[in-house]
Amino acid sequence: MFLVNKLSGKTGLFLLLALSLAFGALVIFNGIVAAALILVILIGPLVVYSIVVFPAFGITVLLVMAYLLFYIMRFGVNFPMGTLMDGIQALLILGFFISQRKRQDWSIIKGPVSTMILVWILYNLIQVANPTAESRLAWVYTIRSVAVVMLMYFVFMFQIRTIWLIRFLLRMWLTLAAIAALYAFKQEYIGFSPAEEAYLYSDPGIADLLFISGHWRKFSILSDPVAFSYNMVVASLISITMLTYVKKTWQKVLHGWLIVIFFMAMLFSGTRGAYVLIPAALVLFVILRLNRQVLIASGIGALFIIFLIFVPTTNSNIVRFQTAFKPNEDISFQARKNNQKRIKPYILSHPMGGGLGAVGVWGQRFAPNSYLASFPPDSGYVRVAVELGWIGLFLFCMLMFLILRQGVNNYYTIRNPELKTYCMAMLMIVFAYNIGNYPQEALVQFPSNIYFYLAVALINVTKRLDKEEQARIRLT
């Protein structure tokens, strides 16, 4: 109101006109960078305040940015977007502690899953003193993608307090996934944008990975085909689960079409590791929700998958899908097995591993001459074993086991049908990511790393909301 009163006169209008001309000139001469800076100056303080004070808004911003991060970067924005994501997470953590002053609730750090997450974070923190680590700087650059991201679990656990917010987040999740899937259709049938083509031809190594049998693997708005395909899988699992709950015909049709779109977009990615995830997750689904309708639907789905596996075709996407179910004929799968066999003695002789960030980009940057710098892990579990040792691998597997056990227990004890459905969807997502973490690194890249811990948190949030609802019913 102060600004409105001061700028409503002739002087104010002249000032606004001058600012508009100045902003226009900056955009003309400096392009999108100037436009981004102007937006930051104008709305940045308001957004920062809203993220801290209004947790639902902050969580929404984080989830949307996690999906759009790499798409924005391809526009040529010369800004450390990873640091921006760290900043949003830091603001959410700040908002968490401020909320704790108003409504203290430390029960979120109790329970087997929360305790194990804290143990895992602590183990990663003490890796800075790992005597076999070749570089401490690699730890500095890697720890933020481990510890900070996992702290989002506690933020989600504390701040998601209503079933309405869960509905909103899942609808937003499916909407973002649908946008990504449709963009992949655009890449497949229309082509890449100039910015995407510049990226594809910027490094010969990119073409080696993405150009297979005369066909480009699609990555949509995400970082790479692996991240894209895995996100199509988990979105499919949400819609598959929702089909068992929704009652209206248009809702069933909508989720049915979404499943088809997500599945086809996944094929465009050419990621064989993703193809087996939906059938694997459906096995868990059938076991937990065994009834006549599920058996019939699962049987139809199994017949369709078997048909795709054995049908003669010249379509490169379907051919690559078929090879995923014949791993012994896959050269890349054999190469992974050989790499794992080669690194096994190192893992057994280094109980704490070679240090966080020892392999991959940070290992090549900070310790290029080390033994692990050139080792391709090609698996989330192998990376954990190499960097954090067999102790770290044991802790990581224990964490995943406790999450899955908690999900199964919660599913069978939740009474509210809607919350039960959401719990099942999140359990299937966690299960699929765990399987997908073997052939690929499934949990290290945006948006999967953020959404995975959202799914873990919702497994427990649904149970808490159901308890509160049952307590209200007993009181009435």
Query: Are 55 and 144 part of one and the same domain?
Result: no
SS3 215: strand
Is 15 inside any structural domain? no
Query: Are 121 and 64 part of one and the same domain?
Result: no
Query: Are 178 and 296 part of one and the same domain?
Result: yes
Is 266 inside any structural domain? yes
The secondary structure of residue 329, as a DSSP letter, is G
Is 381 inside any structural domain? yes
pLDDT (tens digit per residue) in 182-200: 999 999 999 998 888 888 8
Percent of the chain with pLDDT over 70: 90
Is 6 inside any structural domain? no
Cα–Cα nearest to 240, from 272, 288, 273 = 288
Q: Among residues 104, 130, 157, which one ends one of the domains?
A: 104
- Give me the pLDDT at residue 374, please: 83
Do 423 and 410 meet the contact criterion of CB atoms below 8 Å apart? Answer: yes
Q: Is the pLDDT of residue 164 over 80?
A: yes
Is 428 inside any structural domain? yes
Query: Are 459 and 426 part of one and the same domain?
Result: yes
Query: Are 85 and 123 part of one and the same domain?
Result: no
Angle (CA) 402 142 361, round 5°:
120
Query: Are 99 and 127 part of one and the same domain?
Result: no
Residue span of the structural domain in which 184 resides: 105-475
Is 309 inside any structural domain? yes
pLDDT (tens digit per residue) in 235-255: 999 999 999 899 899 999 999
Query: Are 198 and 54 part of one and the same domain?
Result: no
Query: Are 163 and 31 part of one and the same domain?
Result: no
Q: Among residues 104, 132, 153, which one ends one of the domains?
A: 104
Query: Are 286 and 405 part of one and the same domain?
Result: yes
Is 13 inside any structural domain? no
Q: Using alpha carbons, list the distances in angstroms from residue 382 to 89, 244, 386, 400.
A: 27, 36, 6, 15
- Cα torsion angle, 202, 207, 209, 210, sign: positive
Query: Are 50 and 195 part of one and the same domain?
Result: no
pLDDT (tens digit per residue) in 19-52: 778 777 777 777 666 776 777 777 888 888 999 9
The residue behind tokens 């003309």 is: 28
- Give me the pLDDT at residue 328, please: 62
DSSP assignment of 376-440 equals ---SHHHHHHHHHHHHHHHHHHHHHHHHHHHHHHHHHH---HHHHHHHHHHHHHHHHHHHHTTTS
Region 277-293: mean pLDDT is: 84
pLDDT (tens digit per residue) in 86-121: 899 999 999 999 888 888 878 888 899 999 999 999
- Give me the pLDDT at residue 329, please: 60
Q: Is the pLDDT of residue 300 over 70?
A: yes
Domain count, the chain: 2
Tokens of 459: 């497994």
Tell me the pTM. Answer: 0.88
